[in-house]
Structure 1
């Protein structure tokens, strides 16, 4: 049976129309305590304003943004891929802002978004991906299960929306090397 969710890469032309849905998603995950760089209270206008600041990077291709949509509620997930602008870093990119709306979790959307970003990175010639996430989070388990390697933890690196300092785990994934699952 086909998935009820569709994943699309946002173009510079359609990015402005997606800002409202992206803002609603961002508010939902921050309200749920996600450590994404924002503090509570966090409202829709602040979220929309932040997303609008990303438009130039989407337009110049240094940031790729995908959204997951379903037929009823609109945008229910997103992930971004930031390409390195450094001449010695063209082989690497960073996964940013992987998030899924609370009522859409547990359906494989995060993994599908992550796989989409990884495939696009590979197609763009990227061989190394990096990301960070809150230590002990569900996201950390998703990355580890998908073949990412944790290379360190920084105590007190980020804060939760309530301002509490949280440890962050840093991961990498080589895209040019097949990953063998543990126990295989």
Structure 2
């Protein structure tokens, strides 16, 4: 995908995830938390803490429970999203979309939309046609998901906190993919 002369490359990372990729992923996560994103972590949040989080994600990639996509601009990881495939036996048709993150320096270039299109394709390849996620209503991710055809089932008040401690609601969202 080209974004104003710069090409966004979307790649699925396989196990073992490289040290460089883990460090770059940690940088993206730490930047998002520093920027105020409600993605489970509180300020202050260090790149070391973010690296430990992605070390766990890499274990999920190795076990086959997680598909990890990254977006690269000029060879550097600037975004990521995960597809959680670890569902109960009666829910093998669905998957969880998790941790859709774009570094603040890369926002507004179509990185998030490219990641979402690619994660939907990954879901199809894994036989998953119902996707679910939660997000803060009114924030940039929420607007992206609505533009991408996701539907909102409801809102839970004071579900989580922003990194600075303020409470925020969460929107429960879902999307049916074409079943081939």
Q: Which of the five TM-score ranges fits, normalised by the shorter chain?
A: over 0.9
Aligned length, in residue pairs: 177
**Residue 130 of structure 1 corresponds to which residue in structure 2?**
132
**Residue 86 of structure 1 corresponds to which residue in structure 2?**
88
Give 5+ residue unaligned stretches, structure 2: none
Distance 2:158 2:135 in 1: 12
Distance 1:85 1:146 in 2: 24
Instruction: Give the TM-score normalised by the residue count of structure 2.
Output: 0.93
Match of 1:61 among 64, 67, 90: 64
Instruction: Give the TM-score normalised by the residue count of structure 1.
Output: 0.91
Distance 1:78 1:17 in 2: 14
Aligned to 1:54, the other structure's residue is in SS state: helix
Offset of 1:15 from its aligned partner? 4.3
Residue deviations 1:30-68, cap 9 Å, x none?
Answer: 000000000000011111011111122100111011111
Matched, 1:32 2:35: yes
Give 5+ residue unaligned stretches, structure 1: 178-184
Aligned to 2:50, the other structure's residue is in SS state: helix
Q: What is the RMSD computed on CA atoms of the aligned residues?
A: 1.6
**Structure 1 runs of 4+ with >6 Å offset:** none
Match of 2:9 among 3, 6, 26: 6
CA distance change for structure 1 residues 90 and 171 in 2, over 3 Å: closer, same or farther?
same
